[in-house]
Amino acid sequence: MSLILRPQVTASAAAMITLAAAVAAAETLRLDFQTAADIKWPNDVLVRGRKICGILVEAAIEGDRLQYAVVGIGVNIAQPFFPEQLIDGATSLFLETGRAITPEDFVAVMLPRLDHWYAASMSQADAVIARWGELSSSAHDCLVRVESLDGAVEGVTCGLTSTGALIVELANGERREIVSGEVKVRAVSA
């Protein structure tokens, strides 16, 4: 599913759209399809440690204003199996529930949640961040390694900033705000 959004906000608010989409997807999977969905910062939704959903937001920025954002949400819905190279890292709604669910059925229940959390991301970012934290087992006290273009950082997660950056406390006590990178969870908790 892809959406084009045209919020009247600063460019820094683009990260909140990603968080809102992750919350909407995780809530839909949990509440409507009874799966143990878990958000991994910032845009992956996992079930039992396997990826079931990925979110990508591409934004057009002019000056300090967000002109538009294209939100892509990919959910593995009906796959009965995955290739051997993905079997340990991916799952689908069919594999988790045993139910045949159509993409249209999934979208019908997810769109109202996405609308709600997108609206909240524009006016109540703290509510989105709080709900994101509730839906993520790795948001707090989790040992992680974050790999980015600037190098790798290892530490313990300490939640999110008000703009959606991941806070990681390093072994020396320094706290870093991570705005992009691939997070690898090292242990369930530190």
pLDDT tens digit sequence for 18-48: 999 999 999 999 999 999 999 999 889 999 9
Task: Please state the rounded mean pLDDT for residues 118-144.
Answer: 94
For the chain, give the percent of residues with pLDDT over 90.
Answer: 69
* Residue 5 pLDDT > 80: no
Nearest alpha carbon to residue 156 among 179, 175, 137: 175
pLDDT at residue number 83: 92
Q: Domains plus CATH for the chain?
A: 2-134 (3.30.930.10), 140-185 (2.30.30.100)
* Residue 106 pLDDT > 50: yes
* Residue 3 pLDDT > 80: no
pLDDT at residue number 34: 96
Q: What single-letter amino acid sits at 114? A: L
Contact present, 30 and 137 (Cβ < 8 Å): no
Confidence of residue 173 (pLDDT cuts 50, 70, 90): very high
Q: Cα separations (Å) of 111 from 25, 40, 95, 142, 156?
A: 9, 21, 23, 31, 34
Token reading at 117? 């959390």
CA–CA distance, 88 with 70 (Å, rounded to integer): 30
pLDDT at residue number 156: 95
Q: Whole-number mean pLDDT of the chain?
A: 90
- Tell me the pTM: 0.90
* Residue 6 pLDDT > 80: no
pLDDT at residue number 62: 86
pLDDT at residue number 189: 41
Coil, helix or strand for 76?
coil
pLDDT at residue number 188: 40
CA–CA distance, 162 with 126 (Å, rounded to integer): 7
* Residue 1 pLDDT > 80: no
CA–CA distance, 180 with 87 (Å, rounded to integer): 26
Contact present, 157 and 139 (Cβ < 8 Å): yes
Calculate helix-pair angle for 103-123, 125-134, nearest 10 degrees: 130
